[in-house]
Amino acid sequence: MSTLLLRLASPLQSWGADSKFNRRETERAPTKSGIIGLIAAALGRQRHEAIDDLRSLRFGVRIDQEGTLLRDFHMVHEELFWKRFTSKYAHLTNRYYLSDALFLVGLEGEDEFLRRIDSALQNPYYPLFLGRRSCPPEGRVSLGIRSGIDLLDALKEEPWLVSEYVGRWKPAKVQLRIITDAEENDEGSFFQQDDPLTFDQTHRKFEHRILRQHPSHVITNFYSRHNSNVVTNHDPIAELEEV
């Protein structure tokens, strides 16, 4: 088994798992249904086509930058036509997004299948988006395959994805949350309804899957201005010796 890693970054992302009617919420991390939809789009699959092979991939995510929860408030005006009468009415919608979030997603599976997905993500058949069509990804999505490395190890070993500028304002030690697929007997596991059975628009179906949040993964932030071990090229004593 190997692991394909994805980098998900965008000004806005939205990963709904239980949104209904006029309130469209987002989870604080990418959902499995959202990632399967992104890959299916890259592969050029139609909504009615089977996705069992994508569902079989073991899924996990590392939250490198939590992002800020943003609410987009809408007042929508619609026209209703009934016989000879036309009426207008307005209703309110609330749509939630994650602003400036950054995620590392891992998919564990067979090498050959992962290579097909990696190639498709680099040359997608349909446009890619992060949860909603209004949220295109920024930069490269696929980071490549980590051969012979399982999901959890790949998520832990990959370098932190934030920029040097962002890292400067973070602590010297950073704790990153990691969430993966789990077994029923895993301690601390919980359920989330984001495992898609079909994306067919006539009868979209999802079922619950079991997730596990692992102990926080602690990394050293070498960019941090709070890091006492940072070495600079500035030598004030040398300036005095030249006087």
pLDDT the model gives residue 84: 53
pLDDT of amino acid 83: 47
pTM of the model: 0.85
Q: Which residues contact 202 (CB under 8 A, 6 or more apart)?
A: none
Q: What is the pLDDT of residue 24?
A: 83
pLDDT confidence of residue 131 = 93
The pLDDT of residue 78? 63
Cα-based torsion angle of the residue sequence 64, 187, 147, 173 in order, rounded to the nearest 10 degrees: 30
pLDDT on residue 46 = 94
* Residue-by-residue pLDDT tens, the chain, 243 positions: 899 999 999 999 999 877 666 788 899 999 999 999 999 999 999 999 999 999 999 999 999 999 999 998 877 766 655 545 555 667 788 889 999 999 999 999 999 999 999 999 999 999 999 999 999 999 999 999 999 999 999 999 999 999 999 999 999 999 999 999 997 777 778 999 999 999 998 888 999 999 999 999 999 998 888 765 555 566 666 666 665
Q: Which of 57, 61, 91, 89 is closest to 74 using CA atoms?
A: 91
Amino acid, single-letter form, for residue 224? S
Find, among 26, 54, 31, the residue nearest to 42 by Cα: 54
